[in-house]
Structure 1
């Protein structure tokens, strides 16, 4: 074994024994050289080896940090890899949960949105002011589909920076990603059709399926790898599937991000069966690491992938601006939009186009991703420290969610109501499935700043969980 491999093994053992914990910064290269007596190149190779094996992650100009130990191997996959449902009836439950937790005084660990203080409010305000000063009767008219040309060009340029050729003409601006996703689903299906979703799934997908009177097959999804492709193949064989709706990056609620190979295999499988993909990629810009992952749309040569994005999770929640790169479905989606919402807010579209033209967005995203990663590490460590050992915490790289499992005889919905009385919200697992299979799970938003309030909330949740465990 070479010297750098010996050093890497020594550091691995220290991480495994708890000397270095998730989120900790390892000693600098030069400090390790001084302590070990090894050459700088030997230490550098050891750190590089640790990073390639997934033990640490480097941050530019910051050093090497320990990556949280993942627990995908312990995930309780559904007993049935496929969960078909001819009817979905979940909107009333979701409405009640979201309305009950709609209190600004609560610690919003159940929120679907990142901490709004992380957004560039002042820069966005300046863009709005500039746009307001330039408004005239010519550009205050309703911006009919497909939406503001400047904004569509800016989005197309961001695709081009990833090596993707997406014309502004196939991009339709929508009132948030949820409208983009609903319109895409409506363009591809008729009432009574079968649609594939993830299990667990983003509750907005389930609400859309209920609204459009569709049937669904939920396919088992892993917190690290994403949708089970063997189970998907089985669904495509057994049911007349018309569309597949999934998140390829930082899946909500699990956090899973698909590998490149997984995305390509998924697309090949759907292509073989002639099934269109609605790719919900609202968290795509919140990836971890230095390499920008490509969406499934990057390998789409037939126009069967409708790629949906949004600025709500990365830039401006209240602007409610999303889009769909719809390919051959662009005209159909524009017609559907004209019959429903008519158009998306013109001033908001112009303000975002102004902001993007100033080239601040990538700098903001870099800072946002790093802050979210740091906060996620802090919350993860606190939860592992405070929560009972029987609670499984699933950590996936990127975004700002943690997925937690209580023992199967516990009910996370009961925990939700008890936490709400204590001024804390969580997202119970019942929100993410048509049935009861995730009743013992819940999702936490860990984008909040770590302070006395958030620390007290985590300790209070731990106390509530202890109390619930004592009753089962």
Structure 2
């Protein structure tokens, strides 16, 4: 692991906290071990006591250490480290079958009073800068020509496209604003990409498990999906990807390169480079969903596959729908050599994008307010992730396996034995909680003992109690009525 202290752009207390956290995760520091005193920390790192305290406060908020009165700070005890799920192994055949009724059931439950949205993959509105967005929206109305009621250019808001290109530098990707087309969210961008490179009846390759939104989109476009084996830490199996690309019937592949949904995997740079190399060798367009790339817990934003693309074979898609304003539906795509086709599709389908919301988001990116918001959001999400890990270890049965995302919003659980999460889902709804059953994330009959949880919520007693109820339901599904009566 690289020394976090070498990353000068990161606050000092966060660099020190990252060093201690890594020692805890590596089991160098074990449960119950005493940490160095504040005075020792100050002397070893040449920092002030306030900085040392901030490092320990950060670790404490992430449920990794605890303060003991008159004694100091200790590695937190009592939390099991759950094993990660094994790599997936889907059948190597393209499929059409769907889970539309189950997806509709999950979305219908979101409107039920008192239910926690654990089944979603977006942050709670309480974690978003709503008041600042409202202010920026009013300013955009005043500054835009015609107050934003006239059509914008087909490529989209130029101010936003310039900001997207500027931010791409953080992942070592040289883009011009002329390379970018704005869209109505990331799903809209992905839709244009699929239509630009494939036709009805064609086969596209995807990771497995994969976001049910990607599966539904492929189905709506009449595409068959070839699911690929995927590792929960490093992403798609490159050997399986190459085997898929060798097939003349695979017209494109879709990868969620950074903090995939639902596994939370992040492809190493070497894997991203190799994936782009394969796309070039076999001339198979690579559609990259980089929706979660800004929500990283490390020292810097991970690179994308687009960072290694010199030929235009990668169609890179992004959005602020998961990080800033889901309802604004602001996204973009840098489609490389397929730009003309994507621009034409956008013209046919929408003519132009909404000017008001794009101008608002552009201002957020331009003034630095977005980055300030992201820092707070990442801190909250990382703290939540540790809390979920602790709660799941405490409340779920032995044999539970848990993904280890380094960013994003979602956790993937593999439950022991013959647990049926579709049946469990109905019992959870009766207890005013929920999750996304694993069967949603495949077109094949698999992941029936898995679930996805959203940790982008406000942590409180109600949320912890919901996780406790889910754990109890997994242990004793026959007692569902008993748990619902206690609410």
Same fold judged by TM-score > 0.5?
Answer: yes
CA distance in 2, matches of 1:375, 1:268: 37
Q: Verify: 1:468 aligned to 2:477, yes or no.
A: yes
Q: Among 128, 131, 138, which residue is 1:119 paired with? A: 128
1:389 partner SS = coil
C-alpha displacement of 1:414: 1.1
1:388 partner SS = coil
1:370 partner SS = helix
C-alpha displacement of 1:76: 3.6
2:384 aligned residue? 375
Q: Among 428, 433, 457, which residue is 2:466 paired with? A: 457
Q: Verify: 1:219 aligned to 2:228, yes or no.
A: yes
CA distance in 2, matches of 1:343, 1:60: 49
CA distance in 2, matches of 1:166, 1:309: 14
2:32 aligned residue? 19
Deviations 1:237-265 (A, max 9, x none): 34521111011111000000111111111
C-alpha displacement of 1:203: 0.9
CA distance in 1, matches of 2:158, 2:141: 18
C-alpha displacement of 1:101: 3.2
C-alpha displacement of 1:270: 1.9
C-alpha displacement of 1:136: 4.2
CA distance in 1, matches of 2:261, 2:24: 33
**Number of residue-to-residue matches in the alignment:** 440
2:99 aligned residue? 90
CA distance in 2, matches of 1:431, 1:8: 34
Relative distance call for 1:123 and 1:257 in structure 2 (3 A) is same
2:310 partner SS = coil
1:261 partner SS = helix
Give 1:191-270 correspondences, 5 Å limit: 191-238=200-247, 240-270=249-279
CA distance in 1, matches of 2:203, 2:181: 25
Q: Verify: 1:40 aligned to 2:49, yes or no.
A: no
Q: TM-score, normalised by structure 1?
A: 0.85
CA distance in 1, matches of 2:230, 2:23: 35
Q: TM-score, normalised by structure 2?
A: 0.83
C-alpha displacement of 1:157: 1.3
1:297 aligned residue? 306
Relative distance call for 1:361 and 1:246 in structure 2 (3 A) is same
Q: Conserved in 1, the CA contact under 8 Å of 2:80 and 2:390?
A: no
2:228 partner SS = strand
CA distance in 1, matches of 2:56, 2:176: 34
Q: Verify: 1:407 aligned to 2:436, yes or no.
A: no
When the two chains are superposed, the root-mean-square deviation of aligned CA atoms in Å is: 3.0
Between 1:231-240 and 1:198-207, the stretch displaced more is 231-240
Relative distance call for 1:169 and 1:104 in structure 2 (3 A) is farther
Q: Conserved in 2, the CA contact under 8 Å of 1:384 and 1:393?
A: no
CA distance in 1, matches of 2:453, 2:106: 14
Q: Among 359, 362, 372, which residue is 1:363 paired with? A: 372
Q: Conserved in 2, the CA contact under 8 Å of 1:194 and 1:239?
A: no
CA distance in 2, matches of 1:194, 1:33: 57
**Unaligned segments of structure 2, at least 5 residues:** 1-19, 48-53, 66-78, 481-487
Relative distance call for 1:327 and 1:254 in structure 2 (3 A) is same
Relative distance call for 1:199 and 1:128 in structure 2 (3 A) is same
CA distance in 2, matches of 1:83, 1:469: 36
2:322 partner SS = coil
